[in-house]
A and B are shown apart, each in its own frame.
Chain A
């Protein structure tokens, strides 16, 4: 209590100053021009949440530091001032508590957006996410619906150690009743966040801390307040014909860089940005593999029972005879994330790992042993 209040008194002063110092995110997105605009993922999320809160008075935000502090990662900047403390709630430190409260509010007809400071902390609340949010519509035979969004940064950041770096995509994606989304670009962030807020089912929205500051071009259509992306559809970020590379979140960027390197060596890679982990767009993935005949799955999370495992199973079940090579899975190392910078680098996939894997599927690498 001490600590929170100490911060409150301090932040009230400093946040007022910082708001004056920076241009509000809303203004930035509204300065139209015919040339392609750039927008950071942070601003994309902020504007999406802002527009949905403005359109529907039942939408409200809840989480630690989302209000006075403007959000631990500033995603919810300006929203407390705009919508007031009834709709932007700073909570005590209890993920289980505020997640349960959010679920209860959703039961009763509100549309909460619950922020986890990172999804690592969602473990404290996972009973409410799985046993209350995901299963209630089914267990109540449709009497209780849970239109809730759980959002926050997921996966590894930089130098934050084992308890702050895990990817929870496969944990949530295995549960029926949940939808699980993972945006990459600003367009993804805006479109998927709006879709998630409007969706009547519980949605787990996996962001990435390192992507928050990255800028992407956004078209006028994306900037429109009615914009949204369909849940369950992947996007082909780069077309190719020799090998399919699937990825989500930050790894999409790495996959695109790998594709660039591969193209110089005469390998044309098709990069699929999954966007939606559950439901998984098996059709797009399988169609691509039927075209290229080779597959590399990329994810940052632990390898066992990961997203790549599910994609492999789907392709083997549906497109077995189209495969010309064994599927390659690139994933994080099977260890809790170490802290030291050199070790951390080795524990997550790098662009070179993706390049080597793609070459292996094309039988263009010298030997399997030489992959370290």
Chain B
């Protein structure tokens, strides 16, 4: 706010206050008046939801004093309440039709074959990983797992559209970005089995992956808390003037949290280069989206905070790729936040602790599995280009499965982290009390081995 005051001498916002959701313009809101987008000769005499505005007047003197609202505000003598829902739901951008053909090739910038192929193979690998790790949990080999089934396109296509310098701040249903960036099946398995090669040193539950090297912040269980973090990280990028943005992922449920609102509001005020990517998959555990909010989804909330937004078909890999590419471009060159609502469906259960058939019909799950399945749809497009076929599919699936099964077998046998790892990283340097406690624990375990599991490796305490 302070910087705005210095720039202009009066407060302005960078997004128009009265604009229809479908408005396509870029940065047409100047410092002085902004034009209206409604006009109609009809007059309404009664108090009704506003759909058209009749004649307006500007009272210059008073308008100036009300510069709090950013520019001239038109006055009207008709009392109108803005409708709670727009006349028309915000349209959903898609590139591929149900047969995997480009609907309008003019609206799709294109993609290199290399990236297009990697996108598909990674989507298949992600899908296979989910199947195998889910099975492993059911067999009792890991305690917990979260699948991404149905949301492979969101995961992989968004990752493909970004660069390695772009910071990822995930919720917990986005391991595909790590996969794209080079996290191996062994890396995933090591974390799920929390063995000594886990980058997270066995500190967290399965699927709480993180990699500083791959610019992917460690998954935390708290919902939507990562959104203000994303804005803070974006502010840091802005201060550094880097050619990179931050992408914060969240679900439809997460959009109810206070942190979502604070993050969007703040990102707009700070003009932070951050993309808020909502995976609206229709369900927050057993809470359907209709119980989560009464607005037209999450995309309309963008405008409420002065954030440019778009609704995309999350099961269309090319649409996701295209939208995220453009969003990244805008976020960085214009230094402003963008909201993307990727509409999709959570085909799997919330986690392995959930049985979603208890609260939704099996037919609904199966329907989504068939209709606009992200892998099937995208595969059709690849095949129509002559880039894929059944043999390649079978080979890919077989290889992925083998690789993942092997990773699990290896991870299962690796030792758990040493006891010393319990005491490090609480602070930057190990404090004396923890140093003492670790020594005491080492002594106790050594003295009474019968009271401790045999696979608790005891390691010499490093001097701090």
Contacts and interface: CB of A to CB of B under 8 A. Distances in A.
A139 B228 contact: no
Nearest to B268: A92
Interface stretch (A124-132, A302-310, A331-339): A124-132
A51 interface: no
Contacts of A94: 258, 261-262, 265-266
Contact of B232 (A105, A142, A201): A105
A185 to B, nearest CB: 25
Contacts of A97: 228, 258-259, 261-263, 265-266
B201 interface: yes
Interface stretch (B21-29, B122-130, B205-213): B205-213
B203 A96 contact: no
A100 B225 contact: yes
Contacts of A44: none
Contacts of B421: 141
B61 interface: no
Interface residues of B, number: 54
A236 interface: no
B166 to A, nearest CB: 12
Contacts of A101: 228-229, 231-232, 235, 262-263, 266, 270
B313 to A, nearest CB: 29
Interface in A1-15: 1-2, 4-6, 8, 12
Contact of A100 (B218, B262, B433): B262
B225 A128 contact: yes
Given A92-B269, A100-B229, A139-B204, A5 B262 contact: no
A98 interface: yes
B218 A136 contact: yes
Contacts of A112: 232
A60 to B, nearest CB: 8
Given A94-B262, A144-B218, A100 B6 contact: no
Contact of A131 (B222, B263, B433): B222
Interface in B226-242: 226-237, 239
A99 B231 CA distance: 11
A71 interface: no
B423 to A, nearest CB: 10
Contact of B426 (A1, A2, A177): A177
A108 B233 contact: yes
A252 B230 CA distance: 41
Interface string A218-251: 0000000000000010000000000000000000
A200 B258 CA distance: 28
B2 interface: yes
B2 to A, nearest CB: 4
B120 interface: no
Contact of A1 (B68, B167, B211): B68
Interface string B1-36: 111011000010000000000000000000000000
A140 B199 CA distance: 8
Nearest to B431: A279
Contact of A200 (B269, B428, B433): B428
A85 B271 CA distance: 13
Among B201, B232, B234, which residue has the most Cβ atoms of chain A within 10 A?
Answer: B232
B203 A103 contact: no
Interface string A49-84: 000000000001000000110000000000010000
B101 interface: no
Interface in B334-375: none
B74 interface: no
A321 interface: no
Given A103-B228, A104-B228, A131 B259 contact: no
A265 interface: no
Contacts of A2: 68
Contacts of A139: 200, 203-204, 208, 218, 220
A140 B222 CA distance: 14
A285 interface: no
Interface string B187-205: 0000000000011110110
Interface in A130-153: 131-132, 136-145
Contact of A137 (B2, B234, B258, B426): B426
Given A97-B265, A127-B225, A177-B426, A141 B200 contact: yes
B448 interface: no
A107 B428 contact: no
Among A80, A108, A279, which residue has the most Cβ atoms of chain B within 10 A?
Answer: A108
Contacts of A106: 232
A97 B222 CA distance: 15
A1 B68 CA distance: 7
A88 B1 CA distance: 11
A113 B200 CA distance: 28
Interface string B88-129: 000000000000000000000000000000000000000000
Given A8-B1, A139-B200, 19 more contacts: A4-B1, A5-B1, A5-B11, A96-B228, A96-B259, A98-B266, A100-B225, A100-B227, A100-B259, A104-B230, A104-B231, A104-B232, A105-B233, A108-B232, A110-B232, A110-B239, A132-B222, A141-B210, A279-B433
Q: Which 6 pairs show the lowest CB-CB distances between chains A and B?
A: A100-B228, A104-B232, A97-B262, A104-B229, A105-B232, A101-B232
Interface of A: 1-2, 4-6, 8, 12, 60, 67-68, 80, 85-86, 88-92, 94, 96-110, 112, 127-128, 131-132, 136-145, 176-177, 179, 199-201, 232, 279
23 contacts: A4-B1, A68-B5, A90-B2, A92-B262, A94-B258, A94-B261, A97-B265, A100-B262, A101-B231, A103-B229, A104-B236, A105-B235, A108-B167, A108-B232, A108-B236, A108-B237, A109-B236, A112-B232, A137-B425, A137-B426, A141-B425, A177-B426, A232-B431
